[in-house]
Amino acid sequence: MSGLEKMLSPKATAVVGVSTSNPFSPGNVIFRKLCFENGIPTFPINPKGGTVEGQKVYKSILEAPDDIDLAVISVPSKYVPGILEQCGSKKIPSAIVVSGGFSEIGPAGAGLQKEIIDVAKKHKITMVGPNCIGVFVPDKLDTFFLPSERVARPLRGNVAIISQSGGWLVERLEEFASRDLGIAAAISIGNSAQTNVTDFIKHFGKDKNVRVILAYIEGFGPNEGREFVEACAEVAPRKPVIVLKGGDSEAGHRATQSHTSALAGNSVIAAAAFKQYGIIQAVDEDETMAYAKVFSFNPRLMKGSRVGVMTVSGGHGVIASDEASFYGLEFPSFSNEDQEAMREVMTPAYRGIASFRNPIDLTGSAADVDYEQVLRIMLGLDYIDSALLLLLPYAPGISLQIGARVANVTKQFNKCVVAYVPYLDKYEVILRGFELNGIPVGDTIEEAVQMLNGIRVRSKFLQQIGKL
């Protein structure tokens, strides 16, 4: 196993920096997580010795038992080089350094960071950090020093998240958890002194349990930008790589220098390179979540940009049209013949009030069967590449089974379908009816359109390289 594999799935760990007097210290939080929640044999380290949570505290890594796969280091920065030397002597293959006080504080810290890089290289230690919040793999590994009651931990899923910012990562975890969106892993790389985002792109690119890779990047060190896009180019034909890049403005550039000591670089050049190598670039956090969620469902792709829209509210169709126009998605007009065919399958009492232009407005009088029948005709049109379903379940004829019923129709066609349903508890059955049958649901109209745009961007890339 590689150092990264042992880090993400350790059989035994050590936490350097536990306190015998402060149970809320970062080291103690990490120790409890690993030992009691993850059930991993974990050895606490503190030069004073003693006991923590009823377990013996070892005075150094050298005194701890052998066969440790991962050391988590949470001590003042000046002690980190010596501790890494001990890890090397102990033949520990991986380390996570959560301690700050390195290149992010300026020249003095940069010298110390170079020192730990040299030590890790000498002993072939795979090191994440410093200045990071740790690594989280659901049901397996949690080295975050942030208690669970303060920061949510999403359930197991298929999205791998890599972030140069611990704070940004924390916000994503909260959002993923609140929306029942699972993750495969969450990696805070901090200063990425040795192991960087490219290493994790390569690793998760080969992981069969990962369907989507999401990265927040503030910049690259010398030559790292090219290595990153080339790694993504290897992965992108198999699975989507989504990137949100910070530090594009001058103020943002200065902030990244003080934050993780990253080199922000030229945003125009970066955007062009991302596009060339098949990377899906999100422009903000809303797009980030929309793209991550839609690809976690492994949606069908789009042969073109032509979208058929169905709604029970004309206003929602207008909002969707405006948003789609921004992204270059098209809502082609239905022919008179096709409009008449849709009208014929509607409940007779409501045929006269429904509109069959694009977007289709079935009105609040529509029932499940109307949605099913009209959708079947729309998806069968050769000039429609995908469907956007805007569903407000307040209509009395719409049942809680509408999601599952519509999904059964979509299975008859090789076209991608995205839905919008307000993310409310009372609509839980509808939401699950869609999502358990592979139809992603946005909790705003804008998000649903963003999901389609992400699919369009990926589809276009796969067409260009002959994979679609």
pTM of the model: 0.93
Q: Is the pLDDT confidence value at 414 over 50? A: yes
- CATH code: domain 151-296 is 3.40.50.261
Percent of the chain with pLDDT over 90: 88
Nearest to 379 by CA among 369, 388, 391: 388
User: Between these two residues, 204 and 2, which has the higher pLDDT value?
Assistant: 204
Model confidence pLDDT, tens digit, residues 43-90: 999 999 999 999 999 999 999 999 999 999 999 999 999 999 999 999
For residues 41 and 158, give the distance between their C-alpha atoms in angstroms, rounded to a whole number.
26
In this prediction, residue 268 carries a pLDDT of 81
In this prediction, residue 247 carries a pLDDT of 59
In this prediction, residue 315 carries a pLDDT of 92
Cβ atoms of 67 and 77 closer than 8 Å: no
Helix (H) or strand (E) holding 269: helix 267-276
In this prediction, residue 262 carries a pLDDT of 41
The tokens of 150 are what? 């303060």
Model confidence pLDDT, tens digit, residues 130-185: 999 999 999 999 999 998 888 999 999 999 999 999 999 999 999 999 999 999 99
Mean pLDDT on 256-260: 40
What's the DSSP call for residue 306?
B
Three-state SS letters, 315-367? HHHHHHHHHHHHHCCECCCCCHHHHHHHHHHCCHHHCCCCECCCCEECCCCCC
301-464: CATH topology is Rossmann fold (3.40.50)
What's the DSSP call for residue 192?
-
Label residue 251 exposed, middle or buried (CB < 10 Å: 0-12, 13-18, 19+).
Answer: exposed
**Confidence grade of residue 216 (pLDDT, cut at 50, 70, 90):** very high
CB-CB neighbours of 175 under 10 Å: 17
**Confidence grade of residue 123 (pLDDT, cut at 50, 70, 90):** very high
For 119-133, b/e burial (b = at least 16 CB within 10 A) is: bbeebebbbbbbbbb
Nearest to 49 by CA among 26, 19, 88: 19
**Confidence grade of residue 95 (pLDDT, cut at 50, 70, 90):** very high
In this prediction, residue 248 carries a pLDDT of 55
For residues 125 and 4, give the distance between their C-alpha atoms in angstroms, rounded to a whole number.
10
Mean pLDDT of the chain: 93
Q: Is the pLDDT confidence value at 264 over 50? A: no
CB-CB neighbours of 149 under 10 Å: 6
For residues 188 and 165, give the distance between their C-alpha atoms in angstroms, rounded to a whole number.
7
Domain ranges of the chain: 1-130, 151-296, 301-464
Nearest to 389 by CA among 335, 433, 338: 433
1-130: CATH topology is Rossmann fold (3.40.50)
Model confidence pLDDT, tens digit, residues 273-328: 999 999 999 999 999 999 999 999 999 999 999 999 999 989 999 999 999 999 99
In this prediction, residue 256 carries a pLDDT of 39
How far apart, in Å, are the Cα atoms of 361 and each of 94, 358, 389? 58, 8, 11
